[in-house]
Amino acid sequence: MIFCVPVREKTEVEALNRENFRMGMRDGIPIALGYFAVSFAFGMTAVADGMRGMDAVIISATNVTSAGQFAGLGIILGDGSYLEILLSQLVINLRYMLMSFSLAQRMEPDAPLYKRLLMSFGVTDEIFGISITRPGYVRPDFHLGAMAVAIPGWVLGTATGAVMGKLLPAMILSALSVAIYGMFLAIIIPPMEKDHSLLGLVLAAMSLSAALAYGPELLEGALGLVSGLLPRLSSGTSVIIVTVFAAALFAWIRPLPQEEADADAAEEGREKVPADSTGNGGEKGRKK
């Protein structure tokens, strides 16, 4: 009887892990559908701009970051430097490091290292949202279950977009390219409805981006200078400048307390939190 206790405890832990993984897969299905739509636009755009479809799929499989991939695609197709790609990805994806810190503080104490390392690859806005809003400790198996559904959805969407980009007529591809702008509008508009100060930030970032892109040419025309006399910034450098400017400006005019930041980042996943039927419970989990 004495020897049966550890075996029974191990069996219960394994059953709990399987249940958490299953629940993660269930909650990851809506995320996968959203990822498919966005990555479809990425794959289609990459192929339309001259990139090989397999290269686009590899980028999606190794990055899983919509804004970072679109920015990187522009830099690659614009013959940008490795330094520009490095800096742009660092600035754009820095928020994932902050999300990882939040997850680490709530992590199940006995979570094995290999699961923590696997989780780090799938820290995205949406997966972070459904993981951090669950009561008690962050369960690695729940996070991994969501990754197991969401990331294939992202890669499959890219592959489908790349294939369709080769098959569809140019006129239809041109019409579908508006999906990229729709994606960014879908990202920007919902937060602006709750915080109107974001509108000023978006307009400031757009103005700076336009000034960097068209300013030298307009200034040359206004001053009667020879075209090409003033230096132009590459698209990668412009992305870095605009991203740093927008982040610094908003952090200065509207600093956000850590608790509110975590709540805002996780809000989209709040409605997806299932009933706590696996022992991942409220007060007991927080008091351990």
DSSP H helix total and E strand total for the chain: 14, 0
Asked whether residue 221 is assigned to any structural domain, the reply reads no
The separation between CA 237 and the C-alpha centre of its own chain, rounded to angstroms, equals 21
Residue 192 lies in a domain: no
CB neighbours of 278 closer than 8 A, spacing ≥ 6? Answer: 16, 19, 20, 23, 139
pLDDT of 280 reads: 46
In a domain, 17, yes or no: yes
- Which letter, b or e, does each residue of 216-238 get, where b requires 16 or more Cβ atoms within 10 Å of its Cβ? beeeeeeeeeeeeeeeeeebbbb
Residue type, 134: R
Number of domains the chain is built from: 1
- The answer to whether the CB of 28 falls within 8 A of the CB of 148 is yes
Task: Encode pLDDT of 245-269 as tens digits.
Answer: 887 887 787 775 555 545 555 554 4
Amino acid at 39: S
Output the pLDDT for position 119: 95
Task: Indicate whether 191 belongs to any domain.
Answer: no
How is residue 110 written in tokens? 């006995």
| pLDDT averaged over every residue in the chain | 80
Closest alpha carbon to 161 in 46, 273, 270, 266: 46
* 95 domain-assigned: yes
Q: What is the DSSP letter of 210?
A: H
User: Is residue 135 domain-resident?
Assistant: yes
Q: Domain for residue 246, yes or no? A: no
CA dist., res. 24 & res. 89, Å (int) = 28
Number of Cβ within 10 Å of residue 124's Cβ equals 20
Residue 283 vs residues 102, 135, 259, 279, 287: alpha-carbon distances, Å: 19, 8, 18, 11, 6
Which residues are bridge partners to 107 per DSSP?
138
Structural domain includes residue 94? yes
List the domain range (segments joined by +) for residue 173: 4-179
The predicted-structure confidence for 53-68, as pLDDT tens digits, reads as follows 999 999 999 999 888 8
Chunk the chain into consecutive blocks of 10 residues (it has 288) and report each block's average pLDDT, rounded to whole numbers: 53 86 94 89 88 94 90 87 87 85 89 93 90 88 96 96 85 66 70 79 86 83 74 72 81 65 50 43 41
